[in-house]
Structure 1
């Protein structure tokens, strides 16, 4: 039964996606078709509705809409400019300093906002024209912005890691948040290495330096924005509040910061911010509910066990198996959004990786890193197309530059996969086993 149900699910899903049906609807139709095949029509509809409701009726999931709202508030609250100034102060003396500024600013703004697409949009809009004015190749500038925007999907607070905590059956959100810090930073640093050699080749130099007095002013201006990350992570790790409570605190803090301290958001702006946040939250929650139906069907028909045994049967060498899993996830990421991919493939691949001795924490970081790469690869990568649109470039002209960054990011992926220390060092330091 598992084999026939599995084939039915995946064949139906692929056909629907090729027809252009939205991923959430495709997941539901593919799942219900397998339920009808296994249990009959009379049981399929009520069971699907129940599982969809159960999939979103989880207190921890409240963190997702709250972090989305906090991110939207900060996106529109003038945070980007202050973080760019801070990044410029840090990288001003490095060859190709403006390009390095783009990387650091993406890492900072992506983590604060929790959105790679928002980071690509904000940084591309502000830094892109400045890079053009200073003689940077526009396609290379777009590639820098695109390649480094996903760092915020790993550096906390991260909705992707919250989703994985749910899908994995209760992996600590605090441990995952800490586990994502080093891989996210390594992603950014690897791209800075590419930029450094490009800048040396093209003869780019730092065109200005900053005085100690100006540096101090920039840092003071950016500290209130940067404090959000420390408040959220510090509060969770110290046990002061849960991840869900931290998300509500993030909303309150970002609102006070933008309305009272920076005074960049007016009361009339809140309607648009709340509406945009509600729309994005609804999409993500619908995907989670739809994915829960598929997860239940796969569990009921023992598809994960079948696939796990198949993967483990490929080789006796754990290195080969992990390479196959990475290639599978990289492929999946090219045509499936981050949230449904995490929800679908966590129950399939987690048992395989734990059988190889990998902890759920380590696997979660590897999974999120893999699927984050998919956000900057065609044909579906949302950050890729946001970055291209903002830069007003063409895909075919940006891709040759992006390949350089893909290589650097892939090297980091291999480090994350085969050296658990990068993912587990900070969680262990904080007392998470």
Structure 2
């Protein structure tokens, strides 16, 4: 490792260690590298601005954020929750199943685990805690665990970012996330059913079957969001970025004209909040692009590929090793940083070993989401704690069984690539 790279890594760890946000730490550390190599630090600004403004795909990120914030406003969440209660509330541990199903549905709108946990998650936690149906820690834990599904089922902001750094098909990534997302929902529901039987949790009063069609029709327009997205991308009607614009427009039309639940003042607040969220993501992306430039300049991916080629690592061993690394890093870093900074190091080796980039990308995104609920630094645990006031200790104790279930689902996706690739291949993907 060169002296210049050592200076950059040392600066990065020092700045991050004293609490400077990771995006700013990367940018300042990159400047230190440029100074050490005698290169103009103006290259940092040029790389950042060129990387962000020359990527049409990145425009999908703020558009998906706007769509999510609009869909989470007004009466849409109430209608979707009524649909979930009517369909799965009748089973043992009913509101736990409702929690997971709501995350499956809202994941088709937000593409953000934090948005799901802070928005619809708080509503369901209050429902689960009412009249002592479920312990507060358990309600918070299953909410955090189910929120990890958000960025797996399309739309998915992390998958857009992965497509940016890997050149993998965004449409194939979106399709590839559907079955893993459903698998994650299934293992969480199974764990909830088992725990509910052991601990005697409540079952909701069954909604009469004759009322189910009416409840479904009230939620139907909102349920069509992921269908419209996937048809637009895979039907050749829109690019992924244009599909994000369609999603935002559809959410706005639905909220204003169909449900009539969005007022002008609320829409202004949504735009302000979406701008802040987009800027926060944008600065991390910019920092990561600079770091990727430095990594390429140091020829690190080629050196890694040569080393792995020399030791003759099998694709499965490589996948398991990378996922173990990402699982550990997920305890410390956010998903955006891992995808944009760490994952590009492994892309050349994936190509060398013949690992499908769509399979690799979906598995990595699932892994990053599991990191969001991994103690001690899982960000979703802190988000739930902040919005509900439930003690962090009780959340961590209750989240462990769900964490184990999700790691089991991740292992299945690694061992059986067909779980990820079945739908993309059915729609013509040749990977």
- TM-score tier, shorter chain, comes to over 0.9
For residues 77 and 9 of structure 1, the distance between their equivalents in structure 2, rounded to whole angstroms, comes to 47
2:94 is matched with: 97
- Alignment partner of 1:47 is 2:43: yes
1:167 is matched with: 165
- Alignment partner of 1:241 is 2:238: yes
SS of the counterpart of 2:109? helix
> 1:317 Cα shift?
4.4
Summarize the alignment of residues 15-414 of structure 1 with structure 2, pairs less than 5 Å apart.
Answer: 15-38=14-37, 40=38, 43-57=39-53, 58-132=55-129, 133-168=131-166, 170-204=167-201, 206-310=203-307, 316-414=313-411
> 1:346 Cα shift?
2.5
For residues 3 and 332 of structure 1, the distance between their equivalents in structure 2, rounded to whole angstroms, comes to 24
> 1:271 Cα shift?
1.4
Conservation of the 8 A alpha-carbon contact between 1:366 and 1:413: yes
Q: What is the aligned-residue RMSD (CA, Å)?
A: 1.7
> 1:314 Cα shift?
6.6
For residues 314 and 199 of structure 1, the distance between their equivalents in structure 2, rounded to whole angstroms, comes to 48
- Alignment partner of 1:9 is 2:5: no
Conservation of the 8 A alpha-carbon contact between 2:159 and 2:361: yes
For residues 111 and 105 of structure 1, the distance between their equivalents in structure 2, rounded to whole angstroms, comes to 10
> 1:123 Cα shift?
3.1
For residues 313 and 107 of structure 1, the distance between their equivalents in structure 2, rounded to whole angstroms, comes to 43
SS of the counterpart of 2:117? helix
> 1:211 Cα shift?
1.6
Conservation of the 8 A alpha-carbon contact between 1:312 and 1:321: no
Q: Which runs of 5 or more structure 2 residues have no equivalent in the other structure?
A: none
> 1:30 Cα shift?
1.8
More helix by share: 1
> 1:309 Cα shift?
4.2
> 1:334 Cα shift?
1.6
> 1:99 Cα shift?
0.7
For residues 255 and 321 of structure 2, the distance between their equivalents in structure 1, rounded to whole angstroms, comes to 46
In terms of mean alpha carbon deviation, does 311-320 or 54-63 score higher? 311-320
For residues 82 and 207 of structure 1, the distance between their equivalents in structure 2, rounded to whole angstroms, comes to 17
For residues 85 and 379 of structure 2, the distance between their equivalents in structure 1, rounded to whole angstroms, comes to 27
In terms of mean alpha carbon deviation, does 364-373 or 333-342 score higher? 333-342
Conservation of the 8 A alpha-carbon contact between 1:190 and 1:409: yes
> 1:206 Cα shift?
2.8
For residues 334 and 308 of structure 1, the distance between their equivalents in structure 2, rounded to whole angstroms, comes to 26
> 1:310 Cα shift?
4.7
In terms of mean alpha carbon deviation, does 323-332 or 300-309 score higher? 300-309
Conservation of the 8 A alpha-carbon contact between 2:305 and 2:349: yes
Change (3 A) 1:12 1:379: farther
Conservation of the 8 A alpha-carbon contact between 1:111 and 1:152: yes
TM-score (norm 1): 0.94
Change (3 A) 1:241 1:316: closer
SS of the counterpart of 1:81? helix
Residue deviations 1:53-109 (CA, integer Å, cap 9, x gap) = 111011111111111011111111322211111111221231111110001001111
For residues 403 and 272 of structure 2, the distance between their equivalents in structure 1, rounded to whole angstroms, comes to 35
Conservation of the 8 A alpha-carbon contact between 1:157 and 1:177: yes
In terms of mean alpha carbon deviation, does 347-356 or 280-289 score higher? 347-356
Residue deviations 1:226-277 (CA, integer Å, cap 9, x gap) = 1111101111111111111111111111011111111111112221111000
SS of the counterpart of 1:264? coil
> 1:44 Cα shift?
3.0
Change (3 A) 1:136 1:369: same
Conservation of the 8 A alpha-carbon contact between 1:94 and 1:205: no
In terms of mean alpha carbon deviation, does 370-379 or 67-76 score higher? 370-379
